Structure 1
């Protein structure tokens, strides 16, 4: 594992945030969500893994893979700069909102990472 990007990783945690930096603007097709314009800057993806946290994180770091999650479509265009895991106390949706507020972030794509809940998005843009 590339330890310099891991701020706080606990394999027993079930929630995670991946910080991805886009060096330039990109037009990206995100699976069934469609094509979106992503401004350069930092994006934070909030996800969950009920088991095998380390395997999930390692998969998300890979560029070459079969696309399954929304984050997979964005990943090839950016550099992972930080990964943090969290316990399940807040829940994925509440954690995403807390991270958004803390960073004064915006939700750039409706439904990104939140197709299984009522949240607007689990992808946060913070420039």
Structure 2
């Protein structure tokens, strides 16, 4: 991939040791469904040693007009360097370098990949999740 340089070993280590998971209903839904609904995205992330079920940051989702669950963004931490002009497309998803994210205390160079508009079809949603979003 042009415009990015990844330290595969350090990135793998970050995800192996990462255990700071949000346990809210929305995040739990994302963790348990991302591989099923976006296998090509997950393959891409795994190829760069990023664990797709361990996002660094997830936006609060909403229901769109069709009743689909939309996460405006999902962010993943990568050790290395990247040009902010990087853009990649997989499964109708745009992957860019994030410009805004929570502060990270790392001594290594890093960047954050941001996947825009991760959508889960309304058929995949459970009643509890829908009721929580509507309330």
**Structure with greater helix share of residues:** 2
Q: TM-score, normalised by structure 2?
A: 0.30
TM-score normalised according to structure 1 size: 0.31
Compare relative contact order (CA 8 Å, sep 6+) and give the higher one, 1 or 2: 1
- Whose Rg is larger? 2
